[in-house]
Amino acid sequence: MKRLDQVLNAENIPAELELVVNDVIVACKDIAFKLRQGDLAGILGATEDENVQGETQKKLDVISNDLLKDVLVSNPFVRGVGSEEEDYTIAANADGKYLVTFDPLDGSSNIDVNLSVGTIFSILEAQDNTPGDNQEVFLQNGRKQVAAGYVLYGPSALLVMTTGNGVNIFTLDTTVGEFVLTKSGIQIPEDTAEFAINMSNQRFWEPEMKQYIDDCLQGEEGPLGKRYNMRWVASMVAEVHRILMRGGIFMYPYDNRDPSKAGKLRLMYEGNPMSMIVEQAGGASSTGRMDIMDVQPEGIHDRVPVVLGSKNEVAKVVAYHNK
Ligand code: AHM
Ligand code: MG
């Protein structure tokens, strides 16, 4: 079976990029190990701090963030890092070419109940000499990503990633501590009858999204003409992975709970990397009105409405928004 480095070599990506990916993975393996230890390692529970998003940080949010940050800022090819858990972007090496953004532990409300969580990462190239502690250098749209991926810490730890040459899945072989290729050329089925959305926010959605879900709930008798099933893991990594494996549509739409936040998920740490993976697997990814990867970020922590998954179902949601 092929190891991650062998697969990346075959994709002919620059050696420096490979070394950056490698460091992300070194940190993820450590996170995977700590998650396995769980309560035995004293890592569960919350801290007393809030992150820049106004969310209480879990101990493991902080530990995972530090692991990724520490390994990446000492990589000579990294200009800077941006994290969901950091107020500002952090400078690494002035000569470094790559910018890494990450959500160190996505779905962190699942940590203390022993359910799936994940790490999401995105890699961009610096376009000029701006240092990494200036967020401007990061503010590129998702089409500029040179690599994106996630590690799903589930029953097995899986690395799912793309460098723009399709999507590969690697499984962590815990007997040797290496990710080995277990699936390649992933293709998301174009049609689906399975949606994932947090229905408790329904009253805060825009009318277009309300209408689509109302129509799904009407099943065979409704305008969409099929019976839908629903899933909600509250862990985007797990939802996206389910969609890669068997199709589906995942939505965290715009809602007006807080008018300053255009949805819950963040463009640079969640929206863009997941969109690159989904598109590379033949799926689609939209805000409901435009492709997520065409959204121009204005700030490192920008939020974005997310509708992604099976191509034909995403097209239906977009059509509701265009009506
Ligand atoms: P997080 O990055 O703080 O963990 O938040 C993102 C997560 C996603 O993984 C998931 O889709 C969503 O938040 C769940 O939200 P909710 O708690 O509203 O169900
Ligand atoms: Mg997240």
Report mean pLDDT in 10-residue bins for the chain, 323 residues.
93 96 98 92 79 78 96 98 97 98 95 94 98 98 98 97 98 96 98 98 96 98 98 98 98 90 93 98 98 98 97 98 92
Residue 148: which H helix or E strand, with range?
Answer: strand 147-153
> Which domain range does residue 249 map to?
194-322
CA distance 93 to 220: 57
Q: What is the DSSP-derived secondary structure letter of residue 195?
A: E
Tokens 């890092």 belong to 81
Is the same domain home to 16 and 156? yes
Sign of CA dihedral 148, 154, 156, 157: positive
Note whether 78 and 18 are within 8 A (CB): no
Sequence-ordered list of residues with C-beta below 8 angstroms from that of 307, at least 6 positions apart, any chain = 249, 250, 251, 253, 285, 286, 287, 288, 314, 317, 318
Measured between alpha carbons, how far is 295 from 129 in angstroms, rounded to an integer? 23
Q: Are 98 and 78 in contact (CB under 8 A)?
A: yes
Q: How wide is the angle at C-alpha 285 spanned by C-alphas 4 and 199, nearest 5°?
A: 110
β-pairing, 46-50 vs 249-252, is unpaired
pTM for the model stands at 0.96
Whether residues 118 and 207 share a domain: the answer is: no
Nearest CA to ligand 1 atom 15: 234
Residues 19 and 162 in one domain: yes
pLDDT (0 to 100) of residue 258: 86
Ligand 1 atom at minimal distance to the Cα of residue 107: 4
Both 198 and 157 in a single domain?
A: no
Decide whether any atom of ligand 1 lies within 6 Å of the 234 Cβ: yes
CA of 194 to the centre of ligand 2 (A): 22
194: which 2 tokens? 């399975």
Residue 290's pLDDT is 97
What spacing in Å lies between the alpha carbon of 107 and ligand 2's midpoint?
Answer: 6
Judged by its nearest atom, the ligand closest to the C-alpha of residue 121 is: 2
Residue 146 and residue 57 share a domain: yes
- CA-based R_g, the chain, Å: 19
Boundary-marking domain end, from 136, 164, 183:
183
Q: What confidence score (pLDDT) does residue 101 get?
A: 98
| Spatial distance between the Cα atoms of 92 and 73, rounded to a whole number of angstroms | 4
From the CA of 137, how far away is ligand 1's center (Å)? 27
Quick one: 35 and 173 in the same domain? yes
The secondary structure of residue 159, as a DSSP letter, is E
Indicate which CATH number applies to the domain containing 18: 3.30.540.10
Q: What is the pLDDT of residue 4?
A: 94
Does residue 236 line the site of ligand 1, with CB under 6 A? yes
Which pLDDT score, from 0 to 100, does residue 55 have? Answer: 74
Tell me, what's the pLDDT at 223? 97
The answer to whether residues 88 and 223 belong to one domain is no
